[in-house]
Amino acid sequence: MNRKNIEKIDELRKKHNVIILAHNYQLPEIQDIADFLGDSLDLAIKATKTDAENIIFCGVDFMAESTKILNPDKNVIHPDIEAECPMANTVNPNELLKLKNSTPDAEVVSYINTTAETKAISDICCTSANGRKVVESLSSKKIIFVPDKNLGAYIQRHVKDKELTIWPGVCPTHHRIRKEEILRIKKMHPDAEILVHPECRPEVIDISDYALSTNGMVNYVKKSDANGFIIGTEKELCYRLKNENPDKIFYPIKKAICPNMKKITFEKVLNSLESLEPKVELPEELMEKAKVPLKKMMDIGRGD
Ligand code: 13P
Ligand code: SF4
């Protein structure tokens, strides 16, 4: 990357008191300039611990929204507001409210990959790092889980004493990862460990060594004695894994690309650093309601 541009980023970041938070699926050019890289849970936690007045969030909309909800008094800037998570948009809040009202003895658990409107009618949120721990912590036997059917099925297989009613949403990027592709790579590299995200299909999880959140994978790889890893999640995580473990080998799934994560580019971040726009704006009342399930989730912490 052009050294002048990096210097410009550093100068503006200091001048405007900005912290750049970025998700593990961001392009290498964004990972290289981030102050903090993480999964959804660690990014939400980090966002509540910064003194910076302005947060530039490099990721998709629900992540930037969660950052704003947790920091209503700060400027949260999302360099491309069209970077949306299609799975988050599969939940119709009115339909969810109907389901909730028709099952008064159930608690609603929403994956953090949801809109602020969905969070506002949920009892608690979760991420891929603590879904099982969150569901286990609840007193109700009946749970309404939105929106990822693969993550819901993964939680249900581990938490036998709860009955999950699961929304039929999927992440197109993870649903595209097929068992046959992983087995094909495994055949070529039989000693490689298979790590997959719990948003993958159940039959993909079945053939894996571990199902983990993205930071769960980052933490696992550091302590594993294995030398090679087949990474069943969005392929850009491999850039971070390789940077942090230069002696280890990572086999990505080439088709596993989230096009929305790729909408955030170096140029757009530079523009945002100059203008401190576009800002995430949400109605105050909505933020207050959506903050409750997010805070409850954060009190539970990581489970992986
Ligand atoms: P993580 O929280 O595990 O990083 O996952 C976020 C996500 O969007 C997965 O597709
Ligand atoms: Fe949403 Fe899937 Fe992209 Fe994650 S990878 S942001 S769940 S579309």
Residue by residue, DSSP assigns 253-271 as: -TT---TTGGG--HHHHHH
**Is the per-residue pLDDT at 64 higher than 80?**
yes
Reported as a pLDDT band with limits 50, 70 and 90, residue 2 is confident
pLDDT exceeds 80 at position 267: yes
Look up residue 89 and give its DSSP letter. G
Structurally, what CATH architecture does the domain formed by 3-84+261-282 represent?
Answer: 3-Layer(aba) Sandwich (3.40)
Q: Dig out the tokens for 248 from the structure.
A: 């280890």
Q: What is the pLDDT of residues 47-56, one digit of tens each?
A: 999 999 999 9
User: 165-180: per-residue pLDDT in tens?
Assistant: 999 999 999 999 999 9
| Ligand 2 within 6 A of CB of 213 | no
Helix (H) or strand (E) holding 251: strand 249-252
Q: Are 109 and 122 in contact (CB under 8 A)?
A: yes
Q: In this structure, how many other beta carbons lie within 10 angstroms of the beta carbon of residue 281?
A: 8
Rounded Cα distance, 118 and 288, in Å: 13
Q: Predicted confidence band at 5 (pLDDT cuts at 50, 70, 90)?
A: confident
Cα of 104 from ligand 2 centre, angstroms: 30
Average per-residue pLDDT for the chain: 97
* Each residue's pLDDT tens digit, 202-217: 999 999 999 999 999 9
The protein residue with its alpha carbon nearest to ligand 1, atom 8, reads 113
Cβ(67) – ligand 2 distance below 6 Å: no
Using a 6 Å cutoff on CB, does residue 148 contact ligand 2? no
CA distance 284 to 300: 25
Q: Where are the domains of the chain?
A: 3-84+261-282, 88-170+285-300, 173-252
Do the two domains 88-170+285-300 and 173-252 of this chain adopt the same fold?
yes
Q: Is the CB of 159 under 6 A from ligand 2?
A: no
| pTM of the predicted model as reported, rounded to 2 decimal places | 0.97
Atom index in ligand 1 nearest the CA of residue 234 equals 10
Q: Determine the CATH number of domain 173-252.
A: 3.40.50.10800
Of the pLDDT bands very low, low, confident and very high (cuts 50, 70, 90), residue 271 is very high
pLDDT tier for residue 128 given thresholds of 50, 70 and 90: very high
Q: How far apart are CA 299 and CA 304, in angstroms?
A: 15
Is residue 42 lining ligand 1, measured as CB closer than 6 Å?
A: no
Does residue 261 have its Cβ closer than 6 Å to ligand 2?
A: yes
Kindly report the CATH number that applies to the domain delimited by 88-170+285-300.
3.40.50.10800
Instruction: Please tell me the distance between residue 22's alpha carbon and the centre of ligand 2 in angstroms.
Output: 14
Q: Say if strands 228-232 and 249-252 run parallel, antiparallel, or are unpaired.
A: parallel
3 band by pLDDT with thresholds 50, 70 and 90 = confident
127 CB within 6 A, ligand 1: yes
Q: Residue 65's pLDDT is what?
A: 98
CA 212 to ligand 1 centroid distance, Å:
10
Q: Which ligand is nearest to the CA of 39?
A: 1
Question: How much is the average pLDDT of 94-110?
Answer: 97
Q: 228 near 189, Cβ under 8 Å?
A: yes
Grade residue 4 by pLDDT with cuts at 50, 70 and 90.
confident
How far is the centre of ligand 1, averaged over its atoms, from the C-alpha of 15 (Å)?
31
Mean pLDDT on 184-188? 98
Name the closest ligand to CA 85. Answer: 2
Cβ-count burial 202-235 (b if 16+ within 10 Å, e if not): eebbeebebbbbbbbbbbbbeeeeeeebbbbbbb
- CB of 87 closer than 6 A to ligand 1? no
Residue 1 has pLDDT above 80, yes or no: no
Dist CA 72 CA 74 (whole Å): 6
Residues 6+ apart with CB under 8 A from 163: 141, 142, 143
Q: Render pLDDT for 149-167 as a digit per residue (tens, 0 to 9).
A: 999 999 999 999 999 999 9
Over range 247-263, report the average pLDDT.
98
Average pLDDT of the segment spanning 237-260:
98
Task: Name the nearest CA neighbour of 25 among 35, 36, 39.
Answer: 39
How many helices (H) and strands (E) the chain has is answered by 15, 12
Q: For residue 23, which atom of ligand 1 is closest to its CA?
A: 4
Question: Residue 24 pLDDT more than 80?
Answer: yes
pLDDT band at 277 (very low <50, low <70, confident <90, very high): very high
Q: What distance in angstroms lies between residue 259's CA and the mean position of ligand 2's atoms?
A: 9
